Amino acid sequence: MSMYPHVKFLTSAAEAHQLAPDSGREIAFAGRSNSGKSTAINAVTQRSGLARVSRTPGRTQLINFFELAPERRLVDLPGYGFAKVPERVRLKWLQLMEHYFNVRESLVGLILIVDSRRGLGEQDAVMLEWVLARDRQAHVLLTKSDKLNQRDSQRVLRETKEACADAAVTVQLFSAHGKKGIDEAQRVMDKWLDAA
């Protein structure tokens, strides 16, 4: 059963002044375009239609806020790393993200979504730096692990743990399609949100 039966879409922000009120606690989901962010949000909230899943990478250029319970939110940050995005769009993304990570008091942790077939990228490392600089925690989901065999998934898990050798970062394998690692991700989120 869903831990958050009343989860609902709250608001979208394209500009800094449109962010949801900064109170309570929230967890941000970030990752490359097409890494499986929206699918992961749907899996951990057990609501298949909550965050839109697109086959066209980079479509989500908004910060989308979802309310899990009063004063408890999930945030779907716009994806990055999509080659066809114009420079002007990329700069706007950068400004909005820097603003978000700088000001957000209610942010308790970052769930970083990384396609397990690609591994941790440069921009992923920057996201981790931003959140660690604010003394927040991070949890990496190596998504789409159903696409890898046992040996390769264990290798990418080990390599990612080595690359994220900071006490505030944890890493796990995840597959929304294979229903793998959903409980583990939910436990981390519940702990961060103080819901357990």
Ligand X SMILES: Nc1nc2c(ncn2[C@@H]2O[C@H](COP(=O)(O)OP(=O)(O)OP(=O)(O)O)[C@@H](O)[C@H]2O)c(=O)[nH]1
- Binding residues for ligand X, rule: CB under 6 A, are 31, 33-39, 53-55, 57-60, 79, 143-144, 146-147, 175-177
- Interface residue with Mg ion among 20, 28, 34, 38 (CB under 5 A) is 38
Q: What are the Cα distances from residue 62, in Å, to 78, 119, 180, 195?
A: 6, 24, 28, 27
Q: CB-side exposure of 82: number of CA atoms within 13 Å?
A: 21
Cβ at position 104, least distance to ligand X in Å: 20
CA 158, chain centre distance (Å): 20
Sole window of 5-13, 55-63, 66-74, 155-163 interacting with Mg ion (rule: CB under 5 A): 55-63
Cβ at position 65, least distance to ligand X in Å: 15
Cβ at position 145, least distance to ligand X in Å: 7
Chain residue whose CB lies nearest ligand X: 79
Cβ at position 53, least distance to ligand X in Å: 4
CB-count burial class (<10 Å; 0-12, 13-18, 19+) for 133 = exposed
The rounded distance, in Å, linking the Cα atoms of 84 and 106 is 33
End-to-end Cα spacing for the chain: 14
Beta-carbon count within 10 A of 185 CB? 18
CB of 158 or CB of 179, closer to ligand X: 179
How many amino acids of this chain bind Mg ion (CB under 5 A)? 3
Cβ at position 135, least distance to ligand X in Å: 26
Backbone phi, psi, residue 126, to 5°: -65, -40
Does residue number 60 form part of the binding site for Mg ion (CB under 5 A)?
Answer: yes
Report the interface residues with Mg ion, using CB under 5 A.
37-38, 60
